Structure 1
């Protein structure tokens, strides 16, 4: 997390998924979750070339059928032209079979292994039904499969709006891969909102399924330290989740209007050899030593700006989950004595090791956010307090992200924030632990508000 210098950037934007020939990345192993079924009944798979009628192809058929229906209405409304169905169709490839035929844009079936992609030259979408879709389904639920295919359809939308491979090659500065991938993620968000609103005939996706899908999405990020300027860059987890959420909230015209001028990205490369050598992560004890004084300085300035009086919270370390004020998780703000208790033995060090140092930073920033609310006379209990504390954690993250020198974020830290927010509601709990921001999709949304818009949106001004 600690770096001496870095690129100054405004923060905006969210996620893509799988694909190969079109440039999408291979997935990395995720943490299995129990995913809900999202289909209503069975769907005829006969329009898919190579389909075997299996449940995974039925799920793919349901997703493709509904996303086609979505664009039949959304495309004319967005671009003023009729939607054109894919001329090359759809291909389900059994990469475990030696007799499987290769889909367009490949030479052999194994070229599809572990991937899904849109082939622009053939105007077709293909996927691996043996080593990709079932893995996503098992690890993250049915909705992960749906988002992958919706993302690939997003590339077909781009082609129909005139963003072709030739144009991308001739004008890479105008249509970099990271932008076109974010746009496809955004279009996937448009579709999932339509499904969530109950408009789809074959799919039904609720909050739990959406959280599971986002958990899958963050596994498709670029390797930590990849520059946003890399010609093959697809985006970090924060950028890709941001693009998806923007699509979910803003609509298709918003996604279609994305350009390099209005869509800055948070992804950045390492700026020091030392930071790169440790993967952008400080050891647990070093992280506490570094971030606590910085949090104190940041919130002192914020509270004074709001007309309050800041007193640095007393820091107490405990060997188990704090219990000074309700169940807040491994870090707690204790209103009675204006203290912050930190679990240094059990869950917090484990989260730090499993996710990264800014999982620790995000949770600490939210508890300091409660201290800032108290210092400005604002409530620290209830749904509003929980959301404001989480928003303040985002505002602090904005500050350390945009620093060019001193203590700041390393590549991967924003992704770690997204991961801990999706997996746990600790950062979204109030000072009693009784109210919490949820589901995970909402926690990321509130956190992003602080990151993108700063203190003014977080209840202490």
Structure 2
């Protein structure tokens, strides 16, 4: 992905210098309260790491100094976020005749807090409807490559685009309706609704990839394979299997590896919002 030297977003809230070992007065990370925060926040995650919580390599290590690698990752995220702003402004204008309002993205290192709960390295990146912001610790990109087998800059861009996909759902009124439906459903039905939400965000990420390629010419050979591989590596079945569990479909909240990669590809192939209606799809 060609990103260096390109426009960055102004919608970055950098909390890295004030991230610390506590969030909202509650210790987050390795303790039982931290695990509870992860469960509470789990629905909003683009990457559900709860199957891997027993893996110490996935636990938050807490703050630390901001390194040159951190700064490069932050610049990368800023450029990717700017790309999503330009793409979705175009898609909303051309396909809906409406104006897109960009989301803010919070960069943190270690832990921070959000209206959706405490955020740490173990929660993974997520979108919070409470303040309409994406939360991201760029150390997650390292975990993607080392622990999840999903390396590459375009794999990281896919994660950002997926979270912005949730903001697009929020902009369209889809997320609030789906949340209301989840609130009045059984656990199994709520999980099924969550899967449809997540797969639609994957599809929206695919739309972004197609338009980014057309608008900026930033996509390089192998980039799409990185994104598709990332989608596969963070499927519920793969995460549960890698955690030593037998995949349990009734507990899935994000979709299988096959589903996540296929819906991403669907969005990329069509470039159209209407192709991403996972709520009307008979086959996910």
Q: Which TM-score bucket, shorter chain as reference? A: 0.5 to 0.7
Which structure 1 segments of 5+ residues have no match? 1-36, 266-461
- Counterpart Cα distance in 2 of 1:195 and 1:76: 16
Which of these residues, 252, 264, 272, is aligned with residue 244 of structure 1?
Answer: 264
Higher gyration radius (CA): 1
- Counterpart Cα distance in 2 of 1:215 and 1:256: 20
Map of 1:194 onto structure 2: 211
Secondary structure at the counterpart of residue 241 of structure 1:
helix
The number of residue pairs the alignment matches comes to 214
- Counterpart Cα distance in 2 of 1:74 and 1:55: 29
- Counterpart Cα distance in 2 of 1:248 and 1:47: 25
Map of 2:171 onto structure 1: 160
- Counterpart Cα distance in 2 of 1:196 and 1:93: 29
Which of these residues, 120, 124, 140, is aligned with residue 133 of structure 2?
Answer: 124
Native 8 Å contact 1:154 1:187 kept in 2: yes
1:94: how far off? 0.5
Map of 2:109 onto structure 1: 94
Native 8 Å contact 2:235 2:255 kept in 1: yes
- Counterpart Cα distance in 2 of 1:77 and 1:168: 31
1:167: how far off? 3.9
Secondary structure at the counterpart of residue 90 of structure 1:
strand
Native 8 Å contact 1:182 1:234 kept in 2: yes
Map of 1:151 onto structure 2: 162
Map of 1:133 onto structure 2: 141
1:48: how far off? 1.6
Q: Are the structure 2 counterparts of residues 168 and 255 from structure 1 closer, same or farther at C-alpha, using a change threshold of 3 Å?
A: farther
Equivalences for 1:263-274 in 2 at 5 Å? 263-265=282-284
Which of these residues, 19, 39, 45, is aligned with residue 3 of structure 2?
Answer: 39
Question: Over the residues paired in the alignment, what is the CA RMSD in angstroms?
Answer: 2.7
1:119: how far off? 0.3
- Counterpart Cα distance in 2 of 1:59 and 1:47: 14
Are 1:219 and 2:228 an aligned pair? Answer: no
1:217: how far off? 1.8
1:43: how far off? 4.8
Q: Deviations over 1:64-84 (max 9, x none)?
A: 111011111102333332212
1:248: how far off? 0.6
Native 8 Å contact 2:9 2:82 kept in 1: no
- Counterpart Cα distance in 2 of 1:73 and 1:44: 17
Map of 1:115 onto structure 2: 124
Q: TM-score, normalised by structure 2?
A: 0.67
- Counterpart Cα distance in 2 of 1:85 and 1:187: 15
Q: Are the structure 2 counterparts of residues 128 and 188 from structure 1 closer, same or farther at C-alpha, using a change threshold of 3 Å?
A: same
Secondary structure at the counterpart of residue 117 of structure 2:
coil
- Counterpart Cα distance in 1 of 2:101 and 2:196: 23
Are 1:183 and 2:197 an aligned pair? Answer: no
Map of 2:35 onto structure 1: none
- Counterpart Cα distance in 1 of 2:275 and 2:209: 14
- Counterpart Cα distance in 1 of 2:82 and 2:212: 12
Which structure 2 segments of 5+ residues have no match? 17-65, 242-246
Map of 1:169 onto structure 2: 183
